Structure 1
């Protein structure tokens, strides 16, 4: 298996994050370049649910699930969520927030590739098996484009609490008015 990477700069409170797990045309430290369309067949066959979210490529340590995986003109865009009921996922989230863990690496089996002049390979089709949170990614250029904000859920909760507080104040004011 070869690896390409995605640095994770932050993660939402619910453990969700998004970004590019692979960038097309970029040479990784193993001298491989993933070509546009390389993931298409695997994504059609497996879908996000069929690609595992692992810790450091360890098959015995799944730490979450991918919500979506899609190829766009730039590369492989991913959205995932850590399973915070799992101890290693909580550790991963803490490390991501601290900036100590900032990479993702794709684990795949090469289906079609060609040798490039000067060395390395152009990966035309890969069978994507897993994407891992890792300490040292193979493709340092791939970065998180945005963090899916759990803040939206937190904001909705805060709004609900403010509405409830207004209702309680109104009820209390009405109760005082009625008792006076």
Structure 2
């Protein structure tokens, strides 16, 4: 669907991409969604990001985990993060820079792959040699992944499009998760 508020694509991987305006939002991580990382499958437990978010460090919003491709950061208020029952939700104010314009153009074309995050594991479980569960992490950054995100359930969207597409009750519940 294409229109004044942007475009939407549903991929077979379950990733939804939307773009409009100068804000992106979605889920950088989804709880319980399996991802194949090399020779093992990894999942994220609910609450895995809670300690980091409580300590309020300066977390970066990057492109492809590249620190030279900065879009936003929590320290300046241009990146906002919150855990809800689904996962790690983000809102990002995209800058009016060449990189920001390029990312928004790619989102409009539905060329972005999804989201990812950079972290140090603080608590993890290995129920078997090929399964890892992240229970607590020190989050350092989230990244827009242009091609192949490890976690296929991540999403990128714009708040303006979400607000138009949800019923009033759904919108209230969604906005409550951001507080």
TM-score greater than 0.5 by the shorter chain: yes
| 1:46–1:7 distance in 2 versus 1, CA, 3 Å | farther
Give the secondary structure class of the aligned counterpart of 1:124: strand
Which structure dedicates a bigger proportion of its chain to helix?
1
Structure 1: state its 5+ residue gaps.
Answer: 1-5, 153-180
Number of residue pairs aligned between Structure 1 and Structure 2 = 142
Which structure dedicates a bigger proportion of its chain to strand?
2
Rg larger in 1 or in 2? 1
Task: State the match for 1:155 in structure 2.
Answer: none
Task: State the match for 1:35 in structure 2.
Answer: 45
Q: Does the Cα contact within 8 Å between 2:122 and 2:137 map onto a contact in 1?
A: yes
Q: CA deviation at 1:62?
A: 0.3
Structure 1 runs of 4+ off > 6 angstroms? none
| 1:131–1:7 distance in 2 versus 1, CA, 3 Å | farther
Q: 1:75 aligns with which of 81, 87, 91?
A: 87
Distance 2:16 2:108 in 1: 9
> Structure 2 length normalisation: TM-score?
0.72
Q: 2:116 aligns with which of 98, 105, 126?
A: 105
Aligned Cα root-mean-square deviation (Å): 2.2
Distance 2:50 2:120 in 1: 14
> Structure 1 length normalisation: TM-score?
0.71
Q: Does the Cα contact within 8 Å between 1:8 and 1:104 map onto a contact in 2?
A: no
